[in-house]
Amino acid sequence: MKPVYSIFIEGGDSFGYREANGFPYYQHLNLPLTMRTFVRAFVRTFAIFVKKARRLAILMPAAALLAACDKNRNTDADEIPDPTEGLTKVRDFQIGRYTVSAYNETGELRLGYTKLYFAVADASGKFIDSAALSAFPEMDMGMMKHSTPRSEITKVPDKALYETYYAFLMYSGQGNGKWYYDLKLTVGSVTDSISDVEIDVKNVFRPDGKTERRVIQSVSADTSADASGKRYVVTLVEPVAPKVGSNDVSAYIHERKDANTYIPVERFALKLDPRMPSMENHSSPNNADLTWSADEQRYKGTVNFSMTGYWKLNLILQNEHGATLYGNPVSGEVEASSLYFEVEF
């Protein structure tokens, strides 16, 4: 009787052949002896295939893990969304390997109140949300230099963005002066800075594009209530987009300590009297004086524009006791206060 050979599974994943007479109970595929060579070649080939498949089965999870890690790295690089959406770039500053980009709503630095945001990105373009920034603007007029009222640069909550404001006392070229900017950046334990970078501060005009509009004023206390000569800077913030009817009006007051130091003043007041010079200098009802808002850290009030056109927001600066420091009432032949801002729409 010819020996019978079978293909069998050993250990569940190894393939081989053995004489059926000497093999324990398995399901056999009975083959003639003449098929022995064929079966041997087939089994060996199949065994090689299984070994490679096993290696592949081991390598595939590892490859998947590496791909997942690579994906996580990409996600980490992109996990901080662009914080500048809706803003317009003013300019870039290169500080070491970081790019500090300045943004705001207009894309310009302007006379008076200017809000400014900074975004910090590394060489790969990844935004940095744990930086620290400080800055110093300075107007060089040749014979003298001075800075301007400003706030510290602080982190915007939940964004890789940093904010500040400036109350520029002059525009670039006024009095042949130029504005320069120092900026310091700290990321982790590394600090770097740039100095004397010229910046362009635009003038502010009425709608005709030619006539300057008053949006900031420097005054000195010179009344009987306070003849100290202390100097203050009053800066208009709102309204940004005036309309007929009730509008929020807001302002900052800073005390000038020296040419480079301006301290925010709290708990003063600005008495408000809006007038329309082209319409017999009439006023409007339902206005509210500007008083200190602890929540917004500036002075807030309400101005009611009864019609479109050119308006003067006449103001009287008062201290915390209600004593007048600067400005005067509008009455009779006195058509305006010595302290006023201009709004036209």
Which residue(s) pair with 219 in the sheet?
Answer: 232
Query: Domains in the chain, please, with CATH?
Result: 5-78 (no CATH), 88-202 (2.60.40.10), 216-344 (2.60.40)
How distant, in Å, are the alpha carbons of 169, 233, 242, 282, 312 from that of 316?
20, 13, 21, 18, 13
Rounded distance between C-alpha atoms, residue 153 and residue 151, angstroms: 6
pLDDT in tens, the chain (345 residues): 444 444 444 444 444 444 444 444 334 444 444 455 544 555 465 556 545 555 555 545 544 544 444 444 334 445 788 999 999 999 999 999 999 999 999 999 999 999 999 999 999 999 999 999 999 999 999 999 999 999 999 999 999 999 999 999 999 999 999 999 999 999 999 999 999 999 999 999 999 999 999 999 999 998 888 888 999 999 999 999 999 999 999 999 999 999 999 999 999 999 999 999 999 999 999 999 999 999 999 999 999 999 999 999 999 999 999 999 999 999 988 999 999 999 999
The reported pLDDT for the residue numbered 249 is 98
Torsion-angle region of 299 (φ positive above 0: left; ψ -120 to 50: alpha; else: beta): beta
> What is the spatial distance between Cα 224 and Cα 221, in angstroms, rounded to a whole number?
9
Instruction: Count the Cβ atoms, other than its own, within 10 Å of residue 203.
Output: 15
| pLDDT tens digit sequence for 31-63 | 444 455 544 555 465 556 545 555 555 545 544
194-210 residue pLDDT tens: 999 999 999 999 999 99
Which two structure tokens, joined as six digits, stand for 25?
Answer: 């109970």
> What 3 state SS string does 168-184 have?
ECCCCCHHHCEEEEEEE
Counting beta carbons within 10 angstroms of the beta carbon of residue 339, is it exposed (0 to 12), middle (13 to 18) or buried (19 or more)? buried
CA distance 329 to 4: 122
Enter the pTM of the model. Answer: 0.77
Residue 227: the pLDDT is: 81
SS3 239: coil
